[in-house]
Structure 1
Amino acid sequence: MSTSHAPPGSPGPDMSPIEASASSKPSTVPTSSAPGLQPILPVSSRRARVPRWLRRTTGPVLLLALWQLLSGTGVLTSDVLASPGRIAQVAADLVADGSLPSAMATSLRRVAAGLLLGLLIGTGLALLSGLFRIGEDLVDAPLQMLRTVPFVGLIPLFIIWFGIGEAPKTAIITLGVTFPLYLNVYAGIRGVDAQLIEAGESLGLSRWGLVRHVVLPGALPGAMTGLRYSLGVAWLALVFAEQVNADSGIGFLMVQARDFLRTDVIVVCLIVYAFLGLLADFIVRSLERLLLQWRPTFTGR
């Protein structure tokens, strides 16, 4: 009886197919186990080790440091632009004597009134124009013409119509808020997927049922975009509105500072405008996370 010798690495007669497959695979040594070799991390992994908030604040901190350096060396004089330290001291003084909190409260009240009126007018006209064909014929064309007129150019007319009190200031903000809301809500209504409408009709929804359960939720993302844009326009309109014979508010502080060549006070007011705008945008983004969780593509980040 002759015995045959199998070559090395070939399956023996008593091996199962799984054992034969395992024995035929070449043995590999992981690169991480080799001495002296370290795995190279991709750039994105190395970047992820640094917190994002730290990366995002690096630029502003470096800008402030450069600003302070230029002011300390005399390159930027105080009559051109005050130093960050001086601006911080002036802001603390304005808060301590109560003038800055009082001005902020007045400006916030004006923005809130104008935003509320603009929200009601812009959304109401968008619903009328977006849901009804006759509403579109009557409303859309005049609004498309009016929105091309700079609202700042209407300030003299508002002063003639409403006087120099709070009414023209609120009207300027309202006008600036109305058009972005109208355009985005109208586009959101007309952009609802027709297949969703057909699905709702096949489920037996009435016209108002379609509007409530399909059209309005579908237009909500556009409405939130319009609200965010309108808030930015509201603060811009407030800057112009508070130049109209104002006796209070952040714009009034800026006018006084301009008359006395106080660049430090002007910069403080601009910073307050910026932070109030960021706060308003944060509130709207929080509303988006709350109201748009049903969207499949919404990540909440």
Structure 2
Amino acid sequence: MTASVLTPPRAATTTVPARKPRRRLGPGRPIPFGAAVGPLLLLTVWTVGSATGWIDSRTLSAPWTVVTTAGDLVADGRLPDNLAVSARRAGLGLAIGTAVGTVMAVISGLSRWGEAILDGPIQIKRAIPALALVPLLILWLGIGEQMKVTTITLGVFVPVYIHTHNGLRGIDSRYVELGESMRLRPSVFVRRIVLPGALPGFLLGMRFAVVGAWLSLVVVEQINSTSGIGYMMDLAREYGQTDVIIVGLVLYGLLGLLSDGAVRLVQRRALSWRRTLAD
């Protein structure tokens, strides 16, 4: 009788399903010069609409007409002079409003008594648009530069205060306890813990503040002004010069876009240690 040859059982072959590519849940990588895509698309629609006649030139001047008008305004000096006046007003109001809002936020954020005294009135001011106070400011301050800068300041300091205050109150309490355990002096505590913790909120408030400065400027420069971009636009309205008005609007838009972009650049550099969906 012959012995049967035992053969080892074959290993069971299992098929491993192919892995599906991981789906990104975030917005994806930043697009180079992504901030310019929207304005360029808007310019394209404006150009095509003007070239095909969809947009009436009496309602909205064509882009090439606006460019020609801007060149003429630059050549005769009206645009640079008025732009310099507007930039000075906006810069002064922004500087004063930022300083006032930051100081108030630090006082209110680090002191319960400071919050009790300051936060309520500022929240009331927050509910009242700065432009609604223009008639009262005219009665108090007249129609000169002081009224215009004050209006811009009122439109700036509230967002700086709100976001800086939120940044201060959002600081992790463990860092505060660490500072207390290390017996840090108040000045060192503010420099090492308070200011870095409040920086994200402050920079976010600055983004709202720079746009608010230009928004306030648009209105105050059309109230009995004798200089500035708003004055140039109001004068063009009396003579029916649509192209000059569009030049002013485009200039305001570009100034707001560039100001916001500058703050975002500072925000990205100063907060490079944070990883967010914006990265």
> Do the two structures share a fold, i.e. TM-score over 0.5?
yes
Q: What is the CA distance between 1:76 and its match in structure 2? A: 2.6
- 1:68 corresponds, among 37, 42, 47, to 47
Partner of 2:60, secondary structure, is coil
Alignment check: 8 A CA contact 1:293 1:300 kept: no
Q: Verify the 8 A CA contact 1:169 1:244 in the aligned structure 2.
A: no
| Residues 1:123 and 1:57: Cα distance change in structure 2 (over 3 Å) | closer
**Cα shift readout 1:213-252 (whole Å, capped 9, x = no counterpart):** 1122101100000011111111100001101211111101
1:242 correspondence with 2:202: no
SS of residue in 2 equivalent to 1:147: helix
2:18 paired residue number:
none
2: CA distance, partners of 1:110 / 1:131: 32
> What secondary structure is seen at the aligned counterpart in 1 of 2:127?
coil
Amino acid at match of 2:138: I
Partner-residue secondary structure (3-state), 2:240: coil
Moved more, 71-80 or 164-173: 71-80
In structure 2, give the amino acid aligned to 1:258.
R
How big is the shift at 1:56? 7.0
Over the aligned positions, Cα root-mean-square deviation in angstroms equals 3.0
> Alignment partner of 2:272: what SS?
coil
* Counterpart among 269, 274, 278 of residue 290 in structure 1: 269
Q: What is the letter of the counterpart of residue 220 of structure 1?
A: L
Q: Distance in 1 between matches of 2:273 and 2:195?
A: 13
Correspondences of 1:41-190 after superposition (within 5 Å): 52-53=31-32, 60-61=39-40, 63-190=42-169
1:17-28 alignment runs, 5 A limit: none
Do the aligned partners of 1:185 and 1:223 also contact (CA within 8 Å) in 2? yes
Alignment coverage as a number of residue pairs: 270
**CA deviation after TM superposition for structure 1 residue 125, in Å:** 0.9
Gaps of 5+ in 1: 11-23, 29-40
Question: Which structure's relative contact order is higher, taking Cα pairs within 8 Å and 6+ residues apart?
Answer: 2
Which residues of 2 match residues 174-253 of structure 1 at below 5 A?
174-253=153-232
Gap regions ≥5 residues in structure 2: 16-20
Q: 1:58 to 1:194 in 2, by over 3 A?
A: closer
Please say if 1:263 is aligned against 2:263.
Answer: no
Matched with 2:251 is: 272
Distance 1:66 1:232, change over 3 A: closer
Partner SS state of residue 248, structure 1: coil
Return the alpha-carbon distance in structure 2 between the equivalents of residues 138 and 151 of structure 1: 21
Asked which structure has the greater CA Rg, the reply is 1
Q: 1:168 to 1:202 in 2, by over 3 A?
A: same
> Residue type matched to 1:95 in 2?
V
2:65 maps to amino acid: R
2:46 is paired with a residue whose SS is helix
Cα distance change, pair 141–93 in 1 and its aligned pair in 2 (3 A) = same
Go from structure 1 to structure 2 and tell me whether the alpha carbon gap of 1:76 and 1:230 turns closer, same or farther (over 3 Å shift).
same
Q: Is the contact made by 1:172 and 1:241 (CA closer than 8 Å) also made in structure 2?
A: yes
Letter in 2 for 1:68: T
| SS, match of residue 205 in structure 1 | coil
User: How much has 1:162 moved relative to structure 2?
Assistant: 1.5
Q: Structure 1 residues 219 and 264, CA, compared in 2 at 3 Å: closer, same or farther?
A: same
Give the match for residue 16 of structure 1: none
**Identical positions, percent:** 44
* Kept in 2: contact 1:114–1:173 (CA 8 A): yes
